[in-house]
Amino acid sequence: MGDPPCWLHLFDDFDMTTSLAPDLASFFTTHDARIHEELFDFLRIPSVSARSEHRADMTRAAEWLAGSMRAAGLTAEILPTGGHPVVLGEWRKAGPQAKTVLVYGHYDVQPAEPLELWDSPPFEPTMRDGRIVARGAVDDKGQLFLHVKAIEAHLAARGTLPVNIIVLAEGEEEVGSDNLAAFITRMKDRLACDYIVISDSAMFAPGIPSILSSLRGIAYFEINVQGPAGDLHSGSYGGAVVNPAMALCRILATMHDADGRVAIPGFYDAVREWEPAAREALRALPFDEEQLRRDVGAPALGGEAGRTVLERLWARPTCEVNGLLSGYTGEGSKTVLPAKAMAKVSCRLVPDQDPAEIERLMAAHVARVAPKGVTVSVTQLHGGRPWRAELHGPLFDAARRALAKAFGREPVITGEGGSIPVVGDLDRVLGAPILLLGFGLPGENAHAPNEWMSDENFVKGMHAIAALWEELGAA
Ligand code: BES
Ligand code: ZN
Protein backbone atom coordinates (compact mmCIF):
# COMPACT_ATOMS: atom_id res chain seq x y z
CA MET A 1 0.00 0.00 0.00
CA GLY A 2 1.29 3.50 -0.81
CA ASP A 3 1.16 6.48 1.50
CA PRO A 4 -2.21 6.77 3.20
CA PRO A 5 -4.12 9.95 2.39
CA CYS A 6 -3.15 12.89 4.59
CA TRP A 7 -6.61 13.30 6.08
CA LEU A 8 -6.05 9.94 7.72
CA HIS A 9 -3.59 11.74 9.96
CA LEU A 10 -5.74 12.67 12.90
CA PHE A 11 -3.11 13.92 15.29
CA ASP A 12 -0.49 16.57 14.68
CA ASP A 13 1.54 16.14 17.90
CA PHE A 14 3.20 12.97 16.82
CA ASP A 15 6.81 11.84 16.92
CA MET A 16 7.02 9.10 14.30
CA THR A 17 10.73 8.50 14.69
CA THR A 18 10.60 6.22 17.74
CA SER A 19 10.43 2.45 17.51
CA LEU A 20 10.23 -0.52 19.84
CA ALA A 21 13.13 -0.81 22.33
CA PRO A 22 15.95 -2.94 20.84
CA ASP A 23 16.01 -5.54 23.64
CA LEU A 24 12.29 -6.26 23.20
CA ALA A 25 12.54 -6.25 19.40
CA SER A 26 15.43 -8.69 19.52
CA PHE A 27 13.47 -11.04 21.82
CA PHE A 28 10.78 -11.32 19.15
CA THR A 29 13.32 -11.89 16.36
CA THR A 30 15.32 -14.50 18.29
CA HIS A 31 12.25 -16.45 19.37
CA ASP A 32 10.18 -16.04 16.21
CA ALA A 33 10.19 -19.73 15.21
CA ARG A 34 9.35 -20.97 18.71
CA ILE A 35 6.56 -18.39 19.15
CA HIS A 36 4.97 -19.53 15.89
CA GLU A 37 5.28 -23.21 16.82
CA GLU A 38 3.56 -22.52 20.12
CA LEU A 39 0.77 -20.55 18.45
CA PHE A 40 0.21 -23.45 16.05
CA ASP A 41 -0.02 -25.85 19.03
CA PHE A 42 -2.71 -23.62 20.54
CA LEU A 43 -4.59 -23.48 17.22
CA ARG A 44 -4.51 -27.28 16.91
CA ILE A 45 -6.85 -27.66 19.90
CA PRO A 46 -10.45 -27.58 18.60
CA SER A 47 -11.86 -25.46 21.42
CA VAL A 48 -15.37 -25.08 19.99
CA SER A 49 -17.46 -23.76 22.88
CA ALA A 50 -20.81 -24.33 21.17
CA ARG A 51 -20.47 -28.12 20.92
CA SER A 52 -20.69 -30.47 23.90
CA GLU A 53 -18.51 -33.04 22.13
CA HIS A 54 -15.62 -30.54 22.44
CA ARG A 55 -15.88 -30.22 26.23
CA ALA A 56 -12.58 -32.08 26.75
CA ASP A 57 -10.91 -29.89 24.11
CA MET A 58 -12.09 -26.81 26.00
CA THR A 59 -10.37 -28.08 29.15
CA ARG A 60 -7.29 -28.96 27.12
CA ALA A 61 -7.15 -25.45 25.62
CA ALA A 62 -7.54 -23.87 29.07
CA GLU A 63 -4.72 -26.03 30.44
CA TRP A 64 -2.52 -25.31 27.44
CA LEU A 65 -3.05 -21.59 27.88
CA ALA A 66 -2.37 -21.71 31.63
CA GLY A 67 0.86 -23.60 30.88
CA SER A 68 1.86 -21.01 28.31
CA MET A 69 1.21 -18.18 30.79
CA ARG A 70 3.35 -19.93 33.42
CA ALA A 71 6.16 -20.41 30.91
CA ALA A 72 5.96 -16.66 30.20
CA GLY A 73 6.44 -15.91 33.91
CA LEU A 74 2.86 -15.32 35.08
CA THR A 75 1.03 -17.35 37.68
CA ALA A 76 -2.03 -19.00 36.17
CA GLU A 77 -5.15 -20.63 37.54
CA ILE A 78 -8.05 -22.34 35.86
CA LEU A 79 -11.20 -21.15 37.57
CA PRO A 80 -14.66 -22.69 37.21
CA THR A 81 -17.71 -20.76 36.01
CA GLY A 82 -21.23 -22.00 35.34
CA GLY A 83 -19.89 -23.04 31.91
CA HIS A 84 -16.42 -23.34 30.38
CA PRO A 85 -13.62 -22.28 32.75
CA VAL A 86 -11.76 -19.00 32.91
CA VAL A 87 -7.97 -18.91 32.75
CA LEU A 88 -6.63 -16.20 35.03
CA GLY A 89 -2.98 -15.20 34.64
CA GLU A 90 -1.32 -12.70 36.97
CA TRP A 91 1.98 -10.87 37.36
CA ARG A 92 1.86 -8.33 40.17
CA LYS A 93 5.47 -7.61 41.02
CA ALA A 94 5.56 -4.08 39.62
CA GLY A 95 4.45 -2.90 43.05
CA PRO A 96 1.52 -0.93 44.43
CA GLN A 97 2.64 2.35 42.83
CA ALA A 98 2.54 0.90 39.32
CA LYS A 99 -0.63 0.75 37.26
CA THR A 100 -2.53 -2.53 36.92
CA VAL A 101 -3.74 -3.59 33.47
CA LEU A 102 -6.34 -6.25 32.80
CA VAL A 103 -6.10 -8.03 29.43
CA TYR A 104 -9.23 -9.82 28.23
CA GLY A 105 -9.40 -12.40 25.44
CA HIS A 106 -11.15 -15.67 24.59
CA TYR A 107 -9.73 -19.13 23.92
CA ASP A 108 -12.94 -20.56 22.48
CA VAL A 109 -13.65 -20.57 18.74
CA GLN A 110 -16.67 -20.86 16.46
CA PRO A 111 -17.59 -24.22 14.91
CA ALA A 112 -15.51 -24.87 11.77
CA GLU A 113 -18.36 -26.15 9.55
CA PRO A 114 -18.81 -26.31 6.59
CA LEU A 115 -15.56 -28.30 6.56
CA GLU A 116 -15.61 -28.96 2.81
CA LEU A 117 -15.07 -25.25 2.12
CA TRP A 118 -11.72 -25.10 3.93
CA ASP A 119 -8.61 -25.27 1.71
CA SER A 120 -6.75 -26.93 4.60
CA PRO A 121 -8.20 -28.57 7.73
CA PRO A 122 -9.35 -25.93 10.27
CA PHE A 123 -7.39 -27.36 13.17
CA GLU A 124 -4.19 -28.03 11.22
CA PRO A 125 -2.74 -24.50 11.10
CA THR A 126 -0.61 -23.58 8.11
CA MET A 127 1.21 -20.49 6.87
CA ARG A 128 0.03 -19.51 3.38
CA ASP A 129 1.10 -16.29 1.63
CA GLY A 130 1.93 -14.56 4.90
CA ARG A 131 -1.32 -15.69 6.47
CA ILE A 132 -1.76 -17.94 9.49
CA VAL A 133 -4.73 -20.07 8.42
CA ALA A 134 -6.77 -21.94 11.06
CA ARG A 135 -10.03 -21.67 12.99
CA GLY A 136 -9.29 -19.18 15.78
CA ALA A 137 -6.19 -17.71 14.08
CA VAL A 138 -7.52 -14.18 14.43
CA ASP A 139 -10.66 -14.71 16.56
CA ASP A 140 -9.23 -14.79 19.08
CA LYS A 141 -6.42 -17.23 19.87
CA GLY A 142 -3.78 -15.41 17.79
CA GLN A 143 -4.66 -12.05 19.33
CA LEU A 144 -4.84 -13.44 22.88
CA PHE A 145 -1.55 -15.28 22.45
CA LEU A 146 0.31 -12.21 21.23
CA HIS A 147 -0.49 -10.57 24.57
CA VAL A 148 1.06 -13.50 26.45
CA LYS A 149 4.16 -13.21 24.27
CA ALA A 150 4.43 -9.45 24.81
CA ILE A 151 4.47 -10.11 28.56
CA GLU A 152 7.05 -12.86 28.08
CA ALA A 153 9.26 -10.48 26.08
CA HIS A 154 9.48 -8.02 28.98
CA LEU A 155 10.07 -10.69 31.60
CA ALA A 156 12.65 -12.52 29.48
CA ALA A 157 14.54 -9.42 28.31
CA ARG A 158 14.36 -7.39 31.52
CA GLY A 159 13.20 -9.69 34.29
CA THR A 160 10.38 -7.26 35.05
CA LEU A 161 7.38 -5.34 33.70
CA PRO A 162 6.51 -1.68 34.20
CA VAL A 163 2.86 -2.54 35.03
CA ASN A 164 1.03 -5.20 37.00
CA ILE A 165 -0.89 -7.49 34.68
CA ILE A 166 -3.99 -9.65 34.95
CA VAL A 167 -4.93 -11.81 31.94
CA LEU A 168 -8.58 -12.90 31.92
CA ALA A 169 -9.21 -15.50 29.19
CA GLU A 170 -12.69 -16.92 28.85
CA GLY A 171 -14.08 -19.92 26.97
CA GLU A 172 -17.61 -18.76 26.19
CA GLU A 173 -17.32 -15.58 24.15
CA GLU A 174 -18.55 -17.20 20.95
CA VAL A 175 -21.69 -18.44 22.73
CA GLY A 176 -22.57 -15.15 24.42
CA SER A 177 -20.41 -15.03 27.60
CA ASP A 178 -23.39 -16.04 29.71
CA ASN A 179 -21.40 -16.87 32.82
CA LEU A 180 -18.75 -14.18 32.71
CA ALA A 181 -20.68 -11.24 34.18
CA ALA A 182 -21.33 -13.28 37.35
CA PHE A 183 -17.66 -14.33 37.44
CA ILE A 184 -16.43 -10.74 37.12
CA THR A 185 -18.86 -9.56 39.78
CA ARG A 186 -17.75 -12.35 42.15
CA MET A 187 -14.07 -11.62 41.47
CA LYS A 188 -14.43 -7.83 41.42
CA ASP A 189 -11.73 -7.17 44.03
CA ARG A 190 -9.17 -9.48 42.47
CA LEU A 191 -9.84 -8.04 39.00
CA ALA A 192 -9.62 -4.41 40.16
CA CYS A 193 -7.45 -2.52 37.66
CA ASP A 194 -6.56 0.89 36.22
CA TYR A 195 -6.91 -0.05 32.55
CA ILE A 196 -8.48 -2.78 30.42
CA VAL A 197 -6.97 -3.83 27.07
CA ILE A 198 -8.65 -6.14 24.54
CA SER A 199 -7.43 -7.42 21.17
CA ASP A 200 -10.40 -9.15 19.55
CA SER A 201 -11.17 -6.93 16.58
CA ALA A 202 -9.72 -5.75 13.28
CA MET A 203 -7.69 -2.86 11.87
CA PHE A 204 -9.34 -0.60 9.31
CA ALA A 205 -7.01 -1.70 6.51
CA PRO A 206 -3.58 -3.31 6.05
CA GLY A 207 -0.83 -1.09 7.46
CA ILE A 208 -3.29 1.20 9.24
CA PRO A 209 -3.32 0.53 12.99
CA SER A 210 -6.68 1.25 14.55
CA ILE A 211 -8.26 2.04 17.87
CA LEU A 212 -11.85 0.90 18.15
CA SER A 213 -14.34 3.48 19.38
CA SER A 214 -17.52 1.41 19.48
CA LEU A 215 -19.01 -2.07 19.61
CA ARG A 216 -22.60 -2.97 18.98
CA GLY A 217 -24.48 -4.95 21.61
CA ILE A 218 -26.69 -7.91 20.85
CA ALA A 219 -30.03 -9.44 21.77
CA TYR A 220 -30.44 -12.95 20.36
CA PHE A 221 -33.81 -14.73 20.11
CA GLU A 222 -35.40 -17.95 19.05
CA ILE A 223 -38.95 -17.66 17.73
CA ASN A 224 -41.02 -20.84 17.69
CA VAL A 225 -44.34 -21.18 15.89
CA GLN A 226 -46.51 -24.23 16.60
CA GLY A 227 -49.51 -25.09 14.48
CA PRO A 228 -51.22 -28.49 14.36
CA ALA A 229 -50.11 -31.30 16.69
CA GLY A 230 -48.23 -33.06 13.87
CA ASP A 231 -47.28 -32.66 10.19
CA LEU A 232 -50.32 -32.87 7.90
CA HIS A 233 -51.05 -33.76 4.26
CA SER A 234 -50.97 -30.36 2.57
CA GLY A 235 -53.78 -31.33 0.21
CA SER A 236 -56.13 -32.81 2.78
CA TYR A 237 -55.62 -30.00 5.29
CA GLY A 238 -53.93 -27.09 3.49
CA GLY A 239 -56.21 -24.04 3.24
CA ALA A 240 -58.11 -24.91 6.37
CA VAL A 241 -55.27 -25.23 8.89
CA VAL A 242 -52.95 -22.25 9.44
CA ASN A 243 -49.49 -23.00 8.08
CA PRO A 244 -46.79 -22.27 10.75
CA ALA A 245 -44.10 -21.62 8.12
CA MET A 246 -46.25 -18.96 6.47
CA ALA A 247 -47.19 -17.56 9.87
CA LEU A 248 -43.52 -17.23 10.79
CA CYS A 249 -42.72 -15.52 7.47
CA ARG A 250 -45.55 -13.06 8.06
CA ILE A 251 -44.20 -12.30 11.52
CA LEU A 252 -40.65 -11.80 10.20
CA ALA A 253 -41.90 -9.58 7.39
CA THR A 254 -43.27 -7.10 9.93
CA MET A 255 -39.84 -6.45 11.42
CA HIS A 256 -38.73 -3.84 8.85
CA ASP A 257 -40.45 -1.04 7.01
CA ALA A 258 -39.93 -0.13 3.36
CA ASP A 259 -37.00 2.16 4.28
CA GLY A 260 -35.09 -0.65 5.93
CA ARG A 261 -35.80 0.63 9.43
CA VAL A 262 -36.68 -1.79 12.19
CA ALA A 263 -40.44 -1.54 12.66
CA ILE A 264 -40.71 -2.97 16.18
CA PRO A 265 -42.46 -0.20 18.14
CA GLY A 266 -40.09 1.50 20.60
CA PHE A 267 -36.98 -0.08 19.03
CA TYR A 268 -35.23 3.26 18.39
CA ASP A 269 -36.39 5.04 21.55
CA ALA A 270 -33.06 4.69 23.41
CA VAL A 271 -30.80 5.11 20.37
CA ARG A 272 -28.31 7.93 20.81
CA GLU A 273 -26.96 9.43 17.56
CA TRP A 274 -23.18 9.72 17.35
CA GLU A 275 -21.99 13.23 18.15
CA PRO A 276 -21.41 15.39 15.04
CA ALA A 277 -17.59 15.15 15.39
CA ALA A 278 -17.68 11.34 15.53
CA ARG A 279 -20.03 11.19 12.51
CA GLU A 280 -17.71 13.55 10.68
CA ALA A 281 -14.68 11.34 11.46
CA LEU A 282 -16.61 8.29 10.31
CA ARG A 283 -17.55 9.93 7.04
CA ALA A 284 -13.91 10.95 6.52
CA LEU A 285 -12.65 7.35 6.54
CA PRO A 286 -11.85 6.16 3.02
CA PHE A 287 -14.44 3.46 2.54
CA ASP A 288 -15.36 2.01 -0.82
CA GLU A 289 -18.95 0.74 -0.61
CA GLU A 290 -18.80 -0.82 -4.07
CA GLN A 291 -15.66 -2.71 -3.05
CA LEU A 292 -17.52 -4.13 -0.05
CA ARG A 293 -20.32 -5.25 -2.35
CA ARG A 294 -17.80 -7.01 -4.58
CA ASP A 295 -16.00 -8.54 -1.58
CA VAL A 296 -19.18 -10.14 -0.23
CA GLY A 297 -20.40 -11.11 -3.69
CA ALA A 298 -23.92 -9.68 -3.25
CA PRO A 299 -25.91 -8.23 -6.19
CA ALA A 300 -26.53 -5.01 -4.21
CA LEU A 301 -26.10 -3.66 -0.70
CA GLY A 302 -29.11 -2.75 1.43
CA GLY A 303 -30.12 -1.35 4.78
CA GLU A 304 -31.51 1.74 6.39
CA ALA A 305 -32.23 4.55 3.94
CA GLY A 306 -30.23 7.77 4.31
CA ARG A 307 -27.21 6.17 6.01
CA THR A 308 -23.77 5.32 4.69
CA VAL A 309 -22.59 1.72 4.90
CA LEU A 310 -20.23 2.51 7.79
CA GLU A 311 -23.03 4.24 9.68
CA ARG A 312 -25.30 1.24 9.09
CA LEU A 313 -22.58 -1.09 10.37
CA TRP A 314 -21.21 0.87 13.31
CA ALA A 315 -23.73 3.45 14.46
CA ARG A 316 -27.16 1.96 13.77
CA PRO A 317 -29.01 -1.02 15.26
CA THR A 318 -30.33 -3.95 13.21
CA CYS A 319 -32.67 -6.91 13.28
CA GLU A 320 -31.53 -9.95 11.29
CA VAL A 321 -32.68 -13.50 10.68
CA ASN A 322 -29.78 -15.85 11.47
CA GLY A 323 -31.54 -19.10 10.66
CA LEU A 324 -34.87 -20.59 9.56
CA LEU A 325 -36.25 -24.09 9.96
CA SER A 326 -39.51 -25.61 8.83
CA GLY A 327 -41.08 -28.31 6.71
CA TYR A 328 -39.50 -30.44 4.03
CA THR A 329 -36.15 -29.29 2.63
CA GLY A 330 -34.78 -32.57 1.26
CA GLU A 331 -34.46 -33.74 -2.34
CA GLY A 332 -37.46 -33.47 -4.61
CA SER A 333 -40.86 -32.54 -3.26
CA LYS A 334 -43.06 -33.60 -0.40
CA THR A 335 -46.55 -32.24 0.05
CA VAL A 336 -46.66 -31.43 3.72
CA LEU A 337 -48.13 -28.77 5.96
CA PRO A 338 -45.46 -28.55 8.66
CA ALA A 339 -46.50 -28.64 12.32
CA LYS A 340 -43.96 -26.03 13.36
CA ALA A 341 -41.45 -23.41 12.28
CA MET A 342 -38.49 -21.80 13.99
CA ALA A 343 -36.33 -18.73 13.39
CA LYS A 344 -33.16 -17.50 15.07
CA VAL A 345 -33.24 -13.71 15.10
CA SER A 346 -30.67 -11.29 16.49
CA CYS A 347 -30.71 -7.56 16.97
CA ARG A 348 -27.41 -5.63 17.03
CA LEU A 349 -27.74 -2.74 19.46
CA VAL A 350 -26.17 0.69 19.86
CA PRO A 351 -25.97 2.93 22.93
CA ASP A 352 -28.21 3.30 24.94
CA GLN A 353 -30.32 0.31 23.88
CA ASP A 354 -30.64 -2.32 26.59
CA PRO A 355 -30.87 -6.03 25.62
CA ALA A 356 -33.50 -6.73 28.32
CA GLU A 357 -35.71 -3.89 27.06
CA ILE A 358 -35.29 -5.05 23.45
CA GLU A 359 -36.42 -8.51 24.52
CA ARG A 360 -39.57 -6.99 26.03
CA LEU A 361 -40.27 -5.01 22.85
CA MET A 362 -39.62 -8.01 20.60
CA ALA A 363 -41.89 -10.33 22.61
CA ALA A 364 -44.69 -7.75 22.68
CA HIS A 365 -44.36 -7.09 18.96
CA VAL A 366 -44.40 -10.76 17.98
CA ALA A 367 -47.41 -11.42 20.21
CA ARG A 368 -49.21 -8.49 18.55
CA VAL A 369 -48.57 -9.51 14.94
CA ALA A 370 -48.82 -13.31 15.31
CA PRO A 371 -51.62 -14.69 13.13
CA LYS A 372 -54.46 -16.58 14.77
CA GLY A 373 -54.30 -20.37 14.57
CA VAL A 374 -50.71 -20.79 15.76
CA THR A 375 -48.96 -20.55 19.11
CA VAL A 376 -45.84 -18.37 19.12
CA SER A 377 -43.06 -18.12 21.69
CA VAL A 378 -40.02 -15.83 21.87
CA THR A 379 -37.03 -16.94 23.94
CA GLN A 380 -33.97 -14.77 24.48
CA LEU A 381 -30.81 -16.88 24.09
CA HIS A 382 -28.29 -14.23 25.10
CA GLY A 383 -27.71 -10.50 25.29
CA GLY A 384 -24.84 -8.06 25.54
CA ARG A 385 -24.70 -4.30 25.93
CA PRO A 386 -23.36 -1.90 23.30
CA TRP A 387 -20.30 0.18 24.16
CA ARG A 388 -18.55 3.42 23.17
CA ALA A 389 -15.03 4.41 24.08
CA GLU A 390 -13.56 7.44 25.80
CA LEU A 391 -11.07 8.61 23.21
CA HIS A 392 -8.78 10.58 25.49
CA GLY A 393 -6.68 10.10 28.61
CA PRO A 394 -3.41 8.30 29.40
CA LEU A 395 -4.51 4.88 28.12
CA PHE A 396 -5.58 6.29 24.76
CA ASP A 397 -2.38 8.36 24.42
CA ALA A 398 -0.19 5.37 25.34
CA ALA A 399 -1.97 3.28 22.70
CA ARG A 400 -1.40 5.90 20.00
CA ARG A 401 2.32 5.99 20.77
CA ALA A 402 2.65 2.21 21.04
CA LEU A 403 0.88 1.63 17.71
CA ALA A 404 3.07 4.23 16.05
CA LYS A 405 6.20 2.46 17.32
CA ALA A 406 5.06 -0.88 15.95
CA PHE A 407 3.44 0.17 12.66
CA GLY A 408 5.36 3.35 11.82
CA ARG A 409 2.22 5.45 11.55
CA GLU A 410 -0.44 6.84 13.81
CA PRO A 411 -3.68 4.95 14.30
CA VAL A 412 -7.12 5.80 12.96
CA ILE A 413 -10.30 5.60 15.00
CA THR A 414 -12.81 3.02 13.79
CA GLY A 415 -16.12 1.50 14.87
CA GLU A 416 -17.31 -2.08 14.80
CA GLY A 417 -20.55 -3.83 13.97
CA GLY A 418 -19.78 -7.01 15.94
CA SER A 419 -20.15 -7.55 19.66
CA ILE A 420 -17.95 -8.55 22.57
CA PRO A 421 -20.63 -9.09 25.19
CA VAL A 422 -18.40 -8.81 28.24
CA VAL A 423 -17.15 -5.32 27.39
CA GLY A 424 -20.32 -3.73 28.79
CA ASP A 425 -19.96 -5.82 31.97
CA LEU A 426 -16.28 -4.97 32.41
CA ASP A 427 -17.18 -1.33 32.03
CA ARG A 428 -20.01 -1.53 34.54
CA VAL A 429 -18.36 -3.75 37.19
CA LEU A 430 -14.71 -2.70 37.06
CA GLY A 431 -15.19 0.89 35.91
CA ALA A 432 -11.71 1.20 34.33
CA PRO A 433 -11.15 2.73 30.87
CA ILE A 434 -11.23 0.12 28.09
CA LEU A 435 -8.97 0.07 25.04
CA LEU A 436 -9.80 -2.09 22.04
CA LEU A 437 -6.71 -2.66 19.92
CA GLY A 438 -7.42 -5.20 17.22
CA PHE A 439 -4.88 -6.70 14.83
CA GLY A 440 -7.24 -8.52 12.48
CA LEU A 441 -7.96 -7.32 8.94
CA PRO A 442 -11.09 -6.98 6.83
CA GLY A 443 -11.78 -10.20 4.93
CA GLU A 444 -10.02 -12.47 7.41
CA ASN A 445 -12.98 -14.90 7.41
CA ALA A 446 -13.69 -14.91 11.13
CA HIS A 447 -16.52 -17.40 11.83
CA ALA A 448 -16.20 -18.66 8.22
CA PRO A 449 -14.11 -21.21 6.31
CA ASN A 450 -10.40 -20.34 5.81
CA GLU A 451 -10.09 -17.98 8.77
CA TRP A 452 -6.69 -16.31 8.76
CA MET A 453 -4.55 -13.79 10.55
CA SER A 454 -1.89 -11.74 8.82
CA ASP A 455 1.47 -12.90 10.16
CA GLU A 456 2.79 -9.36 9.83
CA ASN A 457 -0.01 -8.17 12.10
CA PHE A 458 0.63 -10.99 14.56
CA VAL A 459 4.27 -9.90 14.87
CA LYS A 460 3.55 -6.16 14.87
CA GLY A 461 0.76 -6.83 17.35
CA MET A 462 3.30 -8.34 19.76
CA HIS A 463 5.52 -5.28 19.22
CA ALA A 464 2.65 -2.88 19.80
CA ILE A 465 1.54 -4.55 23.02
CA ALA A 466 5.11 -4.79 24.34
CA ALA A 467 5.45 -1.07 23.58
CA LEU A 468 2.10 -0.40 25.28
CA TRP A 469 3.35 -1.84 28.59
CA GLU A 470 6.35 0.49 28.36
CA GLU A 471 4.18 3.51 27.58
CA LEU A 472 1.79 2.71 30.41
CA GLY A 473 4.70 2.27 32.80
CA ALA A 474 5.90 5.75 31.89
CA ALA A 475 2.42 7.34 31.90
N1 BES B 1 -14.15 -11.06 17.77
C2 BES B 1 -15.55 -11.01 17.62
C3 BES B 1 -16.13 -9.62 17.75
C4 BES B 1 -15.81 -8.85 16.54
C5 BES B 1 -16.42 -9.21 15.36
C6 BES B 1 -14.89 -7.87 16.56
C7 BES B 1 -16.08 -8.58 14.20
C8 BES B 1 -14.52 -7.23 15.41
C9 BES B 1 -15.11 -7.61 14.20
C10 BES B 1 -16.20 -11.88 18.64
O11 BES B 1 -15.50 -13.07 18.87
C12 BES B 1 -17.55 -12.27 18.14
O13 BES B 1 -17.68 -12.83 17.09
N14 BES B 1 -18.56 -12.00 18.91
C15 BES B 1 -19.88 -12.47 18.66
C16 BES B 1 -20.62 -12.32 19.95
C17 BES B 1 -21.89 -13.09 20.00
C18 BES B 1 -21.67 -14.57 19.86
C19 BES B 1 -22.59 -12.79 21.31
C20 BES B 1 -20.55 -11.65 17.57
O21 BES B 1 -20.31 -10.44 17.42
O22 BES B 1 -21.33 -12.25 16.84
ZN1 ZN C 1 -13.65 -12.96 19.09
Q: What are the two backbone dihedrals, phi and then psi, of residue 338, each rounded to the nearest 5 degrees?
A: -65, 150
Looking at ligand 1, which atom is closest to the CA of residue 348? Answer: 21
- Summarize pLDDT for 280-333 with one digit per residue, the tens: 888 888 899 999 999 999 999 999 999 999 999 999 999 999 999 999 999 999
- Summarize pLDDT for 373-400 with one digit per residue, the tens: 999 999 999 999 999 998 889 999 999 9
**Residue 420 near ligand 1, beta carbon < 6 Å:** yes
Note whether 107 and 169 are within 8 A (CB): yes
* Domain end position, chosen among 384, 411, 440: 384
Containing structural domain, residue 222:
217-283+313-384
**Residue 384 near ligand 1, beta carbon < 6 Å:** yes
Ligand 1, atom 19, lies closest to the CA of 176
Residue 16, pLDDT score:
66
Residue 332, pLDDT score:
98
Residue 284, pLDDT score:
86
Do 336 and 370 belong together in one domain?
yes
Residue 263 scores a pLDDT above 90: yes
* Domain end position, chosen among 329, 353, 384: 384
Burial of 377 (0-12, 13-18, 19+ CB in 10 A): middle
Which ligand lies nearest to the CA atom of residue 437 in the structure? 1
417/214 Cα distance (integer angstroms): 8
**Residue 260 near ligand 1, beta carbon < 6 Å:** no
Determine, yes or no, domain membership for 181: yes
- Ligand 2 ion local residues (Cβ < 5 A): 139-140, 200
Do 182 and 99 belong together in one domain?
yes
Q: Is 15 a catalytic residue?
A: no
Note whether 231 and 336 are within 8 A (CB): yes
**Residue 170 near ligand 1, beta carbon < 6 Å:** no
* Domain end position, chosen among 384, 411, 434: 384
Do 257 and 159 belong together in one domain?
no
Ligand 1, atom 16, lies closest to the CA of 419
Distance 420 CA to ligand 1 centre (A): 5
Residue 142 scores a pLDDT above 80: yes
Q: Where are the alpha helices (DSSP H) in 79-215?
A: 141-158, 180-186
Do 341 and 441 belong together in one domain?
no
421/217 Cα distance (integer angstroms): 7
Give me the torsion for CA of 31, 36, 37, 38, rounded to 10°. 90
Do 189 and 249 belong together in one domain?
no
Residue 18, pLDDT score:
82
pLDDT, mean of residues 247-263: 98
Do 405 and 379 belong together in one domain?
no
Residue 17, pLDDT score:
67
61/64 Cα distance (integer angstroms): 5
Determine, yes or no, domain membership for 190: yes
Q: What CATH number corresponds to the domain at position 348? A: 3.30.70.360
Please give the tally of structural domains in the chain.
2
User: In this predicted structure, which of 17-26, 65-74, 185-194 has the lowest mean pLDDT?
Assistant: 17-26
Determine, yes or no, domain membership for 290: no
Do 105 and 145 belong together in one domain?
yes
Distance 342 CA to ligand 2 centre (A): 27
Do 53 and 126 belong together in one domain?
yes
Mutation test residue for ligand 1: of 104, 139, 436, 445, the one with most atoms within 8 Å of CB: 139
Q: Is 108 a catalytic residue?
A: yes
Catalytically annotated residue among 57, 170, 173, 174: 173
Q: What CATH number corresponds to the domain at position 85? A: 3.40.630.10
Residue 8 scores a pLDDT above 90: no
Residue 4, pLDDT score:
42
Determine, yes or no, domain membership for 304: no
**Residue 201 near ligand 1, beta carbon < 6 Å:** yes
Amino acid present at 361: L
Residue 102 scores a pLDDT above 60: yes
pTM: 0.90
Do 257 and 211 belong together in one domain?
no
Mean pLDDT taken over the chain: 95
Determine, yes or no, domain membership for 300: no
Give me the torsion for CA of 376, 317, 301, 131, rounded to 10°. -110
Determine, yes or no, domain membership for 359: yes
Do 203 and 266 belong together in one domain?
no
Residue 11 scores a pLDDT above 60: no
Mutation test residue for ligand 1: of 200, 318, 423, the one with most atoms within 8 Å of CB: 200
Among 163, 126, 128, residue whose Cα is nearest residue 147:
163
Looking at ligand 1, which atom is closest to the CA of residue 106? Answer: 11
Mutation test residue for ligand 1: of 135, 140, 174, the one with most atoms within 8 Å of CB: 174
Residue 467 scores a pLDDT above 50: yes
Do 229 and 361 belong together in one domain?
yes
Determine, yes or no, domain membership for 295: no
Residue 407 scores a pLDDT above 90: yes
Coil, strand or helix at 77: strand
Residue 281, pLDDT score:
83
Determine, yes or no, domain membership for 253: yes
Do 156 and 221 belong together in one domain?
no
